[in-house]
Amino acid sequence: MNVSDPQSLPSKDLALATIGGVTAVQVIATMGILIPAAIAPELARTLDLPVSMIGFQVSLAYVGATLMSLCGGLVQRKLGAVRANQIAATAIGLSLLIIAIPHVAALFVGSLGLGIAYGMTNPAASHLMMKIASPTNRNLIFSVKQTGQPLGGVVAGLMAPPIAIAFGWQWSLMAGAFLALSTVLLIQPLRAKLDGDRDPTTKFRSAVFKDVSLVLRIRELRLLALAALTFSGVQLALMTFAVTMLVEDVKFDLVLAGVGLAVIQIAGVAGRLGWGVIADRNGDGRKTLLFAQSLSVVAAVATAFLSDSMPLVAVFGILFLFGMSAVGWNGVFMAEIGRLAPEGKIGSATGGVLVPTFIGVMMGPLVFSAIHEVTATYTMSFAILTLVTIMGMLPILMMRGSRQKE
């Protein structure tokens, strides 16, 4: 398909339905992974674990996501992008129900399942987005899709803590499972219209690492992947430990801390849309990514000054800036993958780049936990984490200008 030809794009109604369906799955996928983090104090108390151990739970989820990314493009090609999203949503629902079993082993199995499901969503979503995007709106289209991730954090932050306090933490997981399984039915009408390009003859044997090798062959994709390795680590550290930081260091109660997490995610939505518009207008995703990450450095340093004596509006203002920058970069990033991918290989390029991205996600909470062991405060740990963000900006600086060629 020639996406630069408006005549080749789907009808407006189908395009809107596609964006809505894909975004809904992104919401569910992120919500599933973040619900345990949003109820970390209650969950840790029941399982007799340190609250800081929730970082290892998130890292375990992204072990599953990394493994699935090795073959995410193949799954999309064999089953169809819509069907891959439906399978992912089903796996998220079942994994949340498993975590509701009050045992460490259930947390282990369920977290791994959440990650496997999450790793299946992005290659399929990118394939669908490239069907409806053009060079003039690509960054915005991908950014709209990527708003599903922070919106999933908003759902987790606003829904899970109040339900956990009112009815028990297990009911938070059950509510998430209900939303995930409902999404499977929601996107079913798209199956017949959008999965006609699937290839049931796709083979997995000896082909699993082809997506990664595709990325390794293309210099710009390699550099983009290196940057994402660090940016994603900082993003997940923020989303994983925000609630715990606000409870332990800023002395918020669990519900108010959940609102803080929602502020970060709402800022992420605003950032993804805003950075997408900016990148489409200036035609340079690379410069847009650099500017967003520069703001992330400023916000992380400001986080070191959060305290229980600071006005609430100031606390939320710093969290908003941090979320807008450290959580808002993904849409432009995904659009850059689409721009740089060879014709017809967007799913494979996405899956290949997401392998190091998810490794960064895995390592981010672990690195943060190690920093916390030294600093003993979550606020100062975020300030030190700026070094990781700065490391990620270097590969972006090495990339050639990404101004679009119309």
User: Is 389 within the bounds of a domain?
Assistant: yes
Q: What are 51-82's pLDDT values in tens digits?
A: 766 667 777 887 888 888 777 777 887 888 88
Positions of the chain with pLDDT under 50: 1-8, 402-406
Phi/psi region, residue 159 (left: phi>0; alpha: psi -120 to 50; beta: rest), is alpha
Q: Which of 164, 168, 146, 33 is nearest to 88 (CA)?
A: 33
Q: Which domain holds residue 213?
A: 9-187+207-398
Can you read off the two tokens belonging to residue 272?
């993804």
Query: What pLDDT score was predicted for residue 7?
Result: 44
Query: What pLDDT score was predicted for residue 206?
Result: 54
Q: What's the number of domains the chain is made of?
A: 1
Query: What pLDDT score was predicted for residue 289?
Result: 93
User: Is 196 within the bounds of a domain?
Assistant: no
Query: What pLDDT score was predicted for residue 255?
Result: 83
Query: What pLDDT score was predicted for residue 53?
Result: 67
Query: What pLDDT score was predicted for residue 406?
Result: 38
Query: What pLDDT score was predicted for residue 6?
Result: 41
User: Is 38 within the bounds of a domain?
Assistant: yes
Query: What pLDDT score was predicted for residue 3?
Result: 40
Can you read off the two tokens belonging to residue 40?
């970390």
User: Is 71 within the bounds of a domain?
Assistant: yes
Radius of gyration of the chain (CA): 20
Report the CATH number at residue 221.
1.20.1250.20
User: Is 195 within the bounds of a domain?
Assistant: no
User: Is 21 within the bounds of a domain?
Assistant: yes
**Contact indicator for 259, 157 with CB cutoff of 8 Å:** yes
Please list, in sequence order, all residues whose beta carbon lies within 8 angstroms of the beta carbon of residue 140, skipping any fewer than 6 positions away: 273, 276, 277, 280, 331
User: Is 197 within the bounds of a domain?
Assistant: no
Q: What is the residue type of 42?
A: E
User: Is 52 within the bounds of a domain?
Assistant: yes
Query: What pLDDT score was predicted for residue 55?
Result: 64
pTM of the shown model: 0.73
Query: What pLDDT score was predicted for residue 170?
Result: 93
